[in-house]
């Protein structure tokens, strides 16, 4: 579709931004729905983030996504922040409202939940979720657990202080968060109905996550935030053990939907063709 003078504009701010798959993802939807709009990479250095966000309404942008390293810093530069994003301490989506104010939200949270729901797997949320890692991704995952029906999660992290700080910060979510030692992770698998790797272990170039799934519940679902490779060593092990699995790419695709809907006016679909398109990159 050719852009007209009325084209709707959005993009992704990151530093660097060249690794971002969001332009490819949103570009696919813009073409699929025949929308007069563009979604562009915006290379914004940290010291320019405040000015770049403030410029959005002035240059007619409808908003943007935020990626590394801007998700936390941007909290200070938007006008309103939704409640859960504030608790999580990060935003990844900014929408310019009709009055030109910037509204920040964190769609990674719902993106994670939607990816889990897309499996159709019946989670037994009376058993806890096991969350491995305590970084920014873990925070969004834990915030999503409530909407998946969980009341309790076990958290393990190599650096225990970080897991304790996370549990303290996320107290307003009203989930019971139990922090355990890193070397207990394989024991904790026994009771978990959902196992989530939020660390970078298993990513291309990184060592695999060592986790013994032998004693896992037969109805457990295993997922990984890592999506390069799509089939991480953790997911391979889970499949070999006969457990239900879902890879991390779906979270990336689903987190993009609320922004696209707000900027371009269509609730876009996550389809196998979209997955294939994003993976071809
Ligand atoms: P993100 O925002 O993607 O979550 P992050 O905040 O840098 O990134 O968090 C990375 C996570 O991977 C952390 O839980 C980190 O553990 P530490 O808090 O102990 O650093 C975890 N991680 C990274 N490399 C690891 C490794 N080699 N072994 C164990 N955990 C690792």
Is residue 88 scored above 90 in pLDDT? Answer: yes
What is the pLDDT at residue 281?
A: 79
Catalytic pick from 71, 164, 190, 280?
71
Atom 29, ligand 1: which residue's CA is nearest?
Answer: 158
pLDDT of 1 strictly over 80: no
Give nearest CA residue, ligand 1 atom 31.
199
Site residues for ligand 1, CB cut-off 6 Å: 133-138, 157-159, 162, 198-201
Does position 191 have pLDDT exceeding 70, yes or no? yes
Q: What does the pLDDT read at residue 2? A: 83
Per-residue pLDDT of 33-53, as tens digits, reads 999 999 999 999 999 999 999
Ligand 1 probe mutation, 106, 200, 225, most atoms within 8 A of CB: 200
pTM of the predicted structure, to 2 decimals = 0.96
Q: Is 258 left (phi over 0), alpha (psi -120 to 50) or beta?
A: alpha
pLDDT tens per residue, range 153-184: 999 999 999 999 999 999 999 999 999 999 99
| Mean pLDDT over each residue of the chain, to the nearest integer | 97
Angle in degrees, CA 17, 22, 26, rounded to 5: 140
Residue 71 a catalytic site member: yes
């Amino acid at each position: 579709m050719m852009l007209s003078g009325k084209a709707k504009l959005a993009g992704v701010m990151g530093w660097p931004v060249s690794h971002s798959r969001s332009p490819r993802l949103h570009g696919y939807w813009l073409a699929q729905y025949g929308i007069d709009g563009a979604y562009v990479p915006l290379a914004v250095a940290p010291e320019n983030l405040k000015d770049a966000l403030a410029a959005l309404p002035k240059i007619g942008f409808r908003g943007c996504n935020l990626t590394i390293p801007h998700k936390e810093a941007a909290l200070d530069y938007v006008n309103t922040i939704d409640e859960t994003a504030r608790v999580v301490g990060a935003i990844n989506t900014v929408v310019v409202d009709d009055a030109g104010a910037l509204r920040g939200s964190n769609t990674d949270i719902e993106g994670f939940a939607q990816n889990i729901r897309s499996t159709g797997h019946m989670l037994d949320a009376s058993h806890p979720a096991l969350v491995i890692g305590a970084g920014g991704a873990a925070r969004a995952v834990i915030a999503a657990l409530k909407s998946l029906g969980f009341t309790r999660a076990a958290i393990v992290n190599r650096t225990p202080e970080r897991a304790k700080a996370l549990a303290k910060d996320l107290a307003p979510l009203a989930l019971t968060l139990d922090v355990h030692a890193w070397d207990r992770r394989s024991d904790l698998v026994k009771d978990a109905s959902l196992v989530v790797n939020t660390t970078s272990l298993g990513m291309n170039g990184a060592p695999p996550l060592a986790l013994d799934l032998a004693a896992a519940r037969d109805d457990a679902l295993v997922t990984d935030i890592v999506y390069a490779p799509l089939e991480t060593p953790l997911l391979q092990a889970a499949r070999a053990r006969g457990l239900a699995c879902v890879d991390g790419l779906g979270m990336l695709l689903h987190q993009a939907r609320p922004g696209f809907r707000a900027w371009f006016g269509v609730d876009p679909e996550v389809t196998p063709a979209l997955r294939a398109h994003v993976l071809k990159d």
